[in-house]
Amino acid sequence: MAEFDYDLFVIGAGSGGVRASRIAASHGAKVAVAEEYRVGGTCVIRGCVPKKLLVYASQFAEELHDTAKLGWTLGEKSFDWAALRDFVASDVDRLERAYGSTLANNKVEHFAERATVTGPNTVRLASGREISAKYILVAVGAWPVMPDFPGNELAITSNEVFHLGSFPKRVVIQGAGYIALEFAGIFNALGAQVTVVNRSDKILRGYEEALTERLLPIMRARGIEFRFNSPIESLVKQADGSICVNTKGFLPLEADCVLVATGRRPKTDGLGLENAGITLGASGEVPVDDYNATSCPSIYAVGDVTNRVQLTPVAIREGHAFADTVFGGMPRTIAYDHIPSAAFTQPPIAGVGLTEAQAREAGYEVKIYTSDFRPMKNMFAARAERGFYKLVVDASSDKVLGVHMIGPDAPEILQAVAIAVKAGLTKADFDATVALHPSMAEELVLMR
């Protein structure tokens, strides 16, 4: 008889867990995965995929206002939140089925229930079944943080925002990270009155300041109100069903929906890792080495639960590298530099490599190149919003250390630019590239 029930047991069927399961199975491992909610994880079920669909819908609302300049005459227009919500939900269902098919096609056994760790090589399902595995992979992701204040049960997080029964006319959002500001743009463009409240006076920490300094006045000009240094102190349900929002230093607000987006924490509560001698980090994260191994030789972890970089493509690569290392005889690690990132705000921002502040802090003497322009697409809009691109260059080697952009389609353009930055190309290489005209992307090779 086999010593273990499975070669690999994966807890969590998100992007990282599914990729690890599939690759391990392709290497000949007998694999099972447990998922207590839905296959697909945060990104597919309640994160980047449904959110991006809402972004597209809200951008279309914006473009409708510009149709007259495009030569179109339209009839009466109206917005149906339920139709959009249900379409997004149907696409999530489609993707969940696709992820489930991926597991089935690779002969990965799927347990639709919670699993907890009971020892270095054992897990217990919610049904009570005990299962043994030579290796256990923890890929349970992260969960929204809800601050502790009176009435916080009246607020929702990004988990629930996709399922609102009706469209809220007044929305208060706490937080100023990418999730908060993306939803601020979505609700604003779809017609809601939006107020963003934040405990500090900064937005999008970690992004290039030249971009965030551009974004804030644009969002304000679009009608989004910001209250800085003013976190929520309490929420009170009113007789008419609305919510009274009390924030520090300001008069109360009335809202139909309060969304809290103040960060995400690894979802390790009650997971039982202490039963395998694993001590969690300060934020509940699972500490791992470069090969995704924990302090217990038979247990590994990938994705948001490690709190390294909370991005879906990173979790996928970590899961793949884990499977190749443990089951494929091909030890691999992941490089965490030059990871492109974007905030699908309106307008969107995107960046790869070092910001100017990061480069100077790292000891580089830098040259800065910028392009400040009005995108051709914006000529049809009443708003005079400008695009802005910035290159951070090492003065001694001419190597491009970072590229940062705000403007229409910035994330789509940045993906190709990230290849150049990752490859270590120089400013001279950018200059030697012929421009693609007319395009916004050509600004990247025209800076002098």
181 assigned ligand-binding residue: yes
Rounded distance, CA 180 to CA 3, Å? 48
Instruction: Tell whether residue 179 is among the known ligand binding residues.
Output: yes
Give the pLDDT confidence of 48-71 residue by residue, as tens digits.
Answer: 999 999 999 999 988 888 888 888
Fold for 6-143+265-327, please state it.
FAD/NAD(P)-binding domain (3.50.50)
Residue 73 has pLDDT above 90, yes or no: no
304 belongs to an annotated ligand binding site:
yes
Token pair 């008889």: residue: 1
Rounded average pLDDT over 228-252 = 96
3-state secondary structure of 278: coil
Cross-strand pairs, 371: 389
CA angle 100, 309, 319 (to 5 degrees): 40
Overall average pLDDT of the 119-139 stretch = 97
Query: What are 248-305's pLDDT values in tens digits?
Result: 999 999 999 999 999 999 999 999 999 999 999 999 999 999 999 999 999 999 999 9
267 vs 284: CA distance, rounded Å: 7
**177 labelled ligand-binding:** yes
182 is in an annotated binding site: yes
Q: Tell me the average pLDDT of the chain.
A: 95
In this prediction, residues 349-372 reach a mean pLDDT of 97
Residue 74 has a pLDDT of: 86
As a whole number of angstroms, the distance between CA 24 and CA 18 comes to 10
pLDDT value at residue 75: 85
Alpha-carbon span 322 to 20, nearest angstrom: 7
CA 279 distance to own-chain centroid: 27
- What 8-state DSSP symbol labels residue 275? G
Q: Does domain 341-445 have CATH number 3.40.50.12780?
A: no
The 10 Å Cβ neighbour count of residue 25 is 21
**Which uninterrupted H or E stretch holds 258?**
strand 257-260
The pLDDT of residue 404 is: 98
Query: What's the pLDDT band for 134 if we cut at 50, 70, 90?
Result: very high
Q: Which residues are catalytic?
A: 437
Distance CA 98, CA 354 (A): 36
The answer to whether 178 is a known ligand-binding residue is yes
* pTM recorded for the entire structure: 0.95
Which tokens in the block code for residue 31?
């694999």
* The residue type at 156: I
Q: Considering only CA atoms, which of 367, 373, 265 is closest in space to residue 310?
A: 265
pLDDT digits (tens, 9 = 90+) for 6-64: 999 999 999 999 999 999 999 999 999 999 999 999 999 999 999 999 999 999 988 88
Rg of the chain over Cα atoms, rounded to whole angstroms, equals: 24
Q: Where in the chain is the domain with CATH 3.30.390.30?
A: 341-445
CATH superfamily, domain at 152-262: FAD/NAD(P)-binding domain (3.50.50.60)
Kindly report the three-state secondary structure assignment for every residue of 212-245. Answer: HHHHHHHHHHCCCEEECCCCEEEEEECCCCCEEE
Q: Where in the chain is the domain with CATH 3.50.50.60?
A: 6-143+265-327, 152-262
Q: In what order do the strands lie in the sheet with 387-394?
A: 341-343, 349-353, 400-406, 387-394, 366-373
> pLDDT at residue 140 above 90?
yes
